[in-house]
Structure formats: C-alpha cells, structure tokens
A and B are shown apart, each in its own frame.
Chain A
Amino acid sequence: MVTSSHSRPGTPSPAGSTPSPSEPDEPRNTTGRSVSPATDLSVQQRAGIWIRKHGVGPYLLLLPATAVIGALILWPAVQVGLFSFQNYGLMQISGVLPAQWIGFSNYSQILHDPEFWQSLKTSLYFALVVVPLTMIIGTLVGQLLARLGPKMRTFVSVSALLAWATPAVSASVIFVWLVDPDGGVVDWALAKLPSWLGGGAHWAGFSWTNATLPAYTVLTVMLVWTGFPFIAVTVLAGLRTLPSELLEAARVDGAGPWRTFWKVTFPLLRPVFLVLALLSTIWDFGMFTQAYIVTGNLGNRDEYNLGLYEYSQAFTQPPHYGLASAAAFVLTIILLIVTVGYVRAAIKQGSLA
C-alpha cells in the first residue's frame, strides 16, 4: 500500500484496476474504470501494478520488520542452540582457537552440576509462590476496583500502575534500601511489632540479602508489588465485559461474593485468567534484573536462579559461552513449553483473527 504507486491527482488510481489475489476482502477497491497499463505510466506506477498483481504488497511491508527481528532475535536464538554444542570460550571468542563441535558434553556438564539443579529449583519454587500470590492479590484488587466509585477507582488504579511502571532497577535498589540492616525501615518496623505477630528485637539489624530464603522473600514481595497492578486492571476490564444481569441474578439468588466468583466470574473469564497466569509464569520464572541486583551482582553463587546461573557461565571469568548456551537453551525450552500454552490460549480466545 505504501510502497505502491503514487498517482497524480486526477488520474484514476491504477491500483484499483487490477484485482489483487492478496486481498480477497477488498474487491470493491476497484474504481470501476479500467486503465490500459501500456500507456504513459511512470516506473513507480508500473512497480505498483506489479506488486498488486503478484500479491507481494504485504510481504514487502513485512520485510524490514522481519529483517530486524530475524537478525537480532531469531538468529541469536538459533545461534544459542549451535553454541551449546561447541566448546566456545575465551580462546574461541578471541580467535586464537577455532570452536569445535563437542556433541552433548556441555549439556552433560551442566546436568552434573549441583549448582545448576539448585538454581533450577530456586526458579521453580519462586514461580510457584509468586505466580499464585500475584494472581490472588491482583484479582482481589480488580474486584475491589470494580466496586469503587469512578474517582476512587482512577486514583487506586493509577497508583497501582505506577508500581508496575517503576523500572526494575529502581525497584530493586529501593527494596534493598527498605530492608537494609542499618537504617532500613523494614527491620525497624519488624522490631517494633508485638511478638505475637512475629516481631521483636531480633529483627533489628537482620540482613535480608545474604541468604537465599530471605533474599527471595524480598524478591517475592517486590515481584508481587510490580505484578499485581497489571492483573488487577486486566481483571477489571474483564469484569466490565460480563453482562451485569448475570451478576445481578447471582446476587438475587443469594449467592455471596465467593460463590459468585467461582460460579459466574471465573468460568466466564477463564481465558483471561489463563493468559495472565501464563504470562506471570514466564515473567517470574525468567526474572533476571531484580535477582541480579538483590542477590549482589552474581557475587553469591548459592543465591542464583536459572537466569543468573546461565548468565554467570558466560560473563564471569573465565567465560564458558558453550556452557552458558546450553543452560540458556534449557531455560528457553522450559519457557517455550509455557509459551505454547499461552499461544494456544490466545488462539482459543480468537486473538489471531
């Protein structure tokens, strides 16, 4: 459309005169008049006719995007697969030695590495805790938003979305400061809490980032904080698509909010919840930036999740790009399995139409 001809004002568009096989839904585009293509056409117009005739218009439009995505996303993805079968390291990247194919030995090496299994477990447990927590809190807030007046609703949802829009680096640095042992507000507040709420003086000076469980507790709160607004506004939008008579009928029949949710809202919005859960799983399982900063810039090996483990193989000395690629491939495959579920859910929802 854009690349096709630019006809002078007054002349009927030659574009309309050739019914294009590529646009079955645009047959009425024809002006009704036909132009003999032989006479007096510029190169641009001829090109336009050729493009229409052969139906290559959409492919030309897709060309730049495909080139960029292909070169900078798809090819690197393929290359990760290739590197995972090579002994690519310092010698190879500096060109001293050629890379050699070494079969599956990178894979067998990481699969025999206890640190790999430790990091995989950390990623799995983390996703298993954070995803349900974010979904529950997000859904509750979405329900709350639906019941608020318009002004209050705007105030609460915009405030929540500010948390969502806060950059991961800022959020991480802020949370590390909140839980800082000297001067952090969290340790101070926990020390002030009455002991039956789990508070007490032993919290004063408690260090959150030096061990796996406390560090991932901080990360859990942070990712729930970042993730719940998106779920809340999406659930709110979903709730507004529901016919109000249904919810009204449930209420008249004496169904409480719990029953109404499980018997009416959830079944109707099941696709929305499915998409949200799959997206959250992909984001939380693949968390990198926040874990990188909170656990101390790759300094604590026992606090790695799968992403940090993979990254550290390539970017701590000495670099093992082959091992990192094998780990990256494993990470990608796990996420692709979730992604396939996501794509199927999206197709079911009809969003590929």
Chain B
Amino acid sequence: MTSVPVSGSAVARRAGSGRAGRRLRRTSRKAALNLAGVLVALFALFPVLWMISTAFKPASEIYSLTPQPLPLHPTLANFRAVISGSVIGISYWNFLKNSLFITIVAVAVSSLVGLLAAIALGRFKFRFRTTYLIMLLIVQLLPQQALVVSLFIDFRKLNLLDSLVGLIAVYTAFALPVTIWMLRNFAATVPKELEEAAAIDGAGAWTRFWRILLPLVSPGLVATSVFAFIFAYNEFVFALTFLGTDTAKFTLPLYVQYFYGQNSTNWGAIMASSTLFTIPVLVFFLFTQRRLASGLVAGAVKG
C-alpha cells in the first residue's frame, strides 16, 4: 500500500515535468498516503466501533438482514440488562469492583517491590546482575497456561482458590519482571551527582530516595503502572482457573466470557458487557499513551 505513492514520486522526479506538475504529484502522493493511513485506522478501530454500535442496537436491528453501521433506533436496554444484572443475576458493578480492587492492589505492590529491585539493578554493580537480568527476560516469556497447573495445585492446598488474594499475588508476580525491566533504565539515568550533592548537604538515604530518586523515576513508574494495570485488568487464564466456581468473585474478563457462554445469542447484551469492560481500559490507555508509547518503544528498541 505504501510503496505505490513512493515509487510514483520517483517517477515524477525522473520525468521532471515542471514545477506545477511536481507540486501536483506531491499533493496526490500526500493524499494517497493519508488515504492509506485512514484505511489502517479504520481496520484497527472497526471491531471496537462495531462492538459499541451493536451494544446500542435493539434486537430487531442486530439480527436484521442488512446490518447498519449505526443503530437506527439507539437503545440503552442492553446496558440496563447488564447493569441491573437481570441476565445472570449479578450486576456489572460487582465485577468492576472485583477487577479494580485486584488490579489496584497488584499494581501498587508490584510498583513498590519492582522499584526496589530496579534501583538495585540500575544503580549498583554486583556479581549476579547480568544473570538476574537474563532471568527476568526468560521469566517474562514463560507460558502462563503452563504454570497455571502447578499454581492451581499449590493454591488448592493453601486455600487460595476462589480468593481475590490469590489472584492479587499472581498478578503482582507476573507484572514484576516487566516493571523491573523498564524501571531499571529510569533508575540508571538519575545522575549520581544529584544524590552526592544531597548527601553532602546531609540528606540521609531515606530523604535522598523520597526527594531525589522517586520524583525522577516517577515518569517511569507511571509507564510501568499502566502496563501492570492493563495486564492485571485484562488477564484471563489465571482468573478462569482460580475463580472457577464462585461467580460473585469473577473479574471483568471472566464475567464477559461467562456472560457470552450463558447467553450466546443475546449479542446486544454481550456487546454491552464487553463495551463496559473495554471502554475504561481504552480511555485509560488514551490518557496515558504518550508516556506509555515512549516506554514501549524504549523497551523494544533498546531491549
């Protein structure tokens, strides 16, 4: 898609047909590129937009023979059914509460624990540093559906099944490697001179941490928290396995999947539940994407 307009401009240069012709070609090249951009954006947004649109449609339009892009007679009935809990007996708010509780605690704990480790890895040289970093890289990529079997057996013994605490522990652990990995770069960039100057002025380690290190790594903390938040809020395999029997304890992803399983033809309500699950995380992402994108790219390009 992209190669066509570019080669077009190369032809234009070789032909060299005067200034007006060149300007025309440049505008048409730009228009073609913008069109391609709009098509990519449409491809990316279409499924989410279709979900939202379906959630506002009455049943007659959902199963109509010619699907409309937008609801002709928008209705809130699907959302009402989901929020009132009339379909599976428990309201959406219950699951939102579970999800937010688990996610916020897991993000807080993994940020704190991760920051300590990141300081060690970013600001100290010690014997097993490289080994530790390699361990973090490998641990990030272990398949969760493989570990879930043995965690299930452990949690059963420890009475942590059907418990939000067990899920918080797992989310904290699985958010940690990426958190440490990204934060360590931020911790490493805080200039040593700043800390030294503060030390000379008599600031103790605790003061130096609160007044110097923490403010300077806080952009990194925001980025890693967003990552950990999205991971914990979206996670499915552990929730599916550990919260198998107690519907009231379900997190949002498990709720949406369960809802879909229970009413597999009630697409209006399914899309409404999925919208109420998805939109918060996408809005959250939109607000934080600037910081996130830089962290993401730094993580990928630099390792």
| Interface residue ranges, A against B (CB under 8 Å) | 1-13, 15-16, 22-26, 28-29, 31, 48, 55, 57-59, 61-62, 64-66, 68-69, 71-74, 76-77, 79-80, 83, 88, 93, 140-141, 143-145, 147-149, 152-153, 155-163, 165-171, 173-178, 180, 182-183, 185, 188, 225, 229-230, 233-234, 237-238, 241, 251, 254, 256-258, 272, 275-276, 282, 286, 288-289, 292-293, 297, 307, 310-311, 314-315, 321, 324-325, 328-329, 331-332, 335-336, 339, 342-343, 346, 349-352
Cα distance, A149 to B130, chains bound together (Å): 41
Stretch in contact with the other chain, from B20-28, B75-83, B199-207: B199-207
Within residues 212 to 258 of chain B, which ones have a CB less than 8 A from any CB in chain A? 213, 230, 233-234, 236-237, 240-241, 253-254, 256-257
B interface residues (Cβ-Cβ under 8 A, vs A): 1-3, 6-7, 10, 30, 33-34, 36-38, 40-41, 43-45, 47-48, 50-51, 54, 62-67, 113-114, 116-117, 119-121, 123-126, 129-130, 132-134, 137-139, 141-154, 156, 169-170, 172-174, 176-177, 180, 192, 195-196, 199-200, 202-209, 213, 230, 233-234, 236-237, 240-241, 253-254, 256-257, 260-261, 265, 267, 270-271, 274, 277-278, 281-282, 285-286, 289, 293, 296-297, 300-303
Q: List 28 A-B contacts (CB under 8 A).
A: A1-B119, A28-B196, A62-B117, A62-B132, A66-B117, A69-B173, A77-B147, A80-B150, A144-B2, A144-B37, A152-B37, A156-B40, A156-B41, A162-B45, A163-B44, A167-B278, A170-B277, A174-B50, A176-B260, A177-B54, A225-B47, A234-B296, A310-B149, A331-B145, A342-B141, A343-B134, A343-B137, A343-B138
The reply to whether B199 and A73 contact each other, CB–CB distance below 8 Å, is no
Task: Please determine whether B124 and A57 come into contact, CB atoms closer than 8 angstroms.
Answer: yes
CB distance from B168 to the nearest CB of A (A): 11
**Chain A neighbourhood of B48, CB < 8 A:** 162-163, 166, 174
Looking at chain A's contact residues, is the secondary structure mostly helix, strand, loop, or mixed? helix
Q: Which 3 A-B pairs rank lowest in CB-CB distance, beginning with the nearest? A: A351-B303, A72-B173, A328-B146
Decide if A59 touches B120 in the complex (CB within 8 Å): yes
Whether A342 pairs with B137 at a CB distance below 8 angstroms is yes
A237 engages B301 (CB within 8 Å): yes
Report yes or no: A163 in contact with B301, Cβ–Cβ below 8 A: no
Interface SS, B side:
helix
Name the residue of chain A whose CB is nearest to the CB of B109.
A68
* Pair B303/A349 contact, Cβ less than 8 Å: yes
A158/B289 in contact, CB under 8 A: yes
Decide if A257 touches B6 in the complex (CB within 8 Å): yes
- Whether the Cβ atoms of B3 and A188 lie closer than 8 Å is no
Q: CB < 8 Å: which of B45, B63, B142, B203 contacts A332?
A: B142
Asked if A155 contacts B41 (CB within 8 A), the reply is: yes
Contact status of A162 and B44, CB under 8 A, knowing A6-B207, A234-B297: yes
For B65, the closest partner residue in chain A by CB is A188
A272 proximity list for chain B (CB < 8 A): 300-301
B260, B267, B289, B300, most chain A CB atoms within 10 A:
B300
**A167's contact among B172, B233, B260, by CB below 8 Å, is which?**
B233
Known contacts A152-B34, A166-B48; is-contact A310 B257 (Cβ 8 Å): no
CB-CB < 8 A to A76: which residues of B?
Answer: 147, 150-151, 154
- Indicate if the CB atoms of A48 and B205 lie closer than 8 Å: yes
Of B156, B209, B230, the residue contacting A1 (CB under 8 A) is B209
**In-complex Cβ contact of A258 among B3, B121, B154, B256 (8 A):** B3
Q: In the bound complex, how far is the Cα of B295 from the Cα of A237, in angstroms?
A: 11
Given the complex of chains A and B, what is the CA–CA distance between A229 and B240 in angstroms? 27
With known contacts A188-B66, A282-B141, A148–B33 Cβ distance under 8 A? yes
What is the CB-to-nearest-CB distance from A14 to chain B, in angstroms, rounded to a whole number?
A: 9
In the complex, which residues of chain B have a beta carbon less than 8 angstroms from the beta carbon of A148? 33-34, 37
Neighbour of B120 across the interface among A31, A57, A175, A282, CB < 8 A: A57
Q: Give the Cβ gap from B33 to chain A, nearest Cβ, in Å.
A: 5
In the bound complex, CA of A352 to CA of B43 (Å): 37
B220 to nearest A CB, angstroms? 16
CA–CA, A65 and B178, complex, Å: 12
Q: Once the chains bind, are B257 and A173 in contact (CB under 8 Å)?
A: yes
CB distance from B225 to the nearest CB of A (A): 15
Complex: A169 Cα to B233 Cα, angstroms:
11
Verify A62–B116 contact, CB threshold 8 A: yes
> Which residue of chain B is the closest to A328 with respect to CB atoms?
B146
Q: How far is the CA of A288 from the CA of B241 in the complex (A)?
A: 13
Instruction: Give the residue name and chain of the B residue nearest to A94 (CB).
Output: B156
CA distance A163 to B50 in the complex (A): 13
Q: How far is the CB of A129 from the nearest CB of chain B, in Å?
A: 18
Taking a contact as CB atoms under 8 Å apart, the answer to whether B120 and A58 are in contact is yes
New A-B contacts (5) at CB < 8 Å, excluding given A73-B147, A286-B145: A147-B6, A149-B30, A332-B142, A351-B302, A352-B134
Q: Which residues of B contact A61 (CB under 8 A)?
A: 116-117, 119-120, 124
Given contacts A2-B116, A162-B285, A174-B47, contact A339 B141 (CB under 8 A): yes
The answer to whether A275 touches B47, judged by C-beta atoms less than 8 angstroms apart, is: no
B206→A6 contact, CB < 8 A: yes
Chain A contacts of B152 at CB under 8 A? 314-315
A331 in contact with B146 given A183-B63, A336-B138 (CB within 8 Å): yes
- Report yes or no: B44 in contact with A93, Cβ–Cβ below 8 A: no
Q: Is B123 touching A1 in the complex (CB atoms < 8 A)?
A: yes
Q: Which one, A31, A156, A293, contacts B199 given CB within 8 A?
A: A31
Contact A2 B209 (CB under 8 A): yes
Q: Compute how far the CA of A225 lies from the CA of B213 in the bound complex, rounded to whole angstroms.
A: 39
B residues near A158, Cβ cutoff 8 Å: 286, 289
Q: For residue A153, which residue of chain B has the nearest CB?
A: B37
In the complex, A328→B237 CA distance in Å?
A: 14
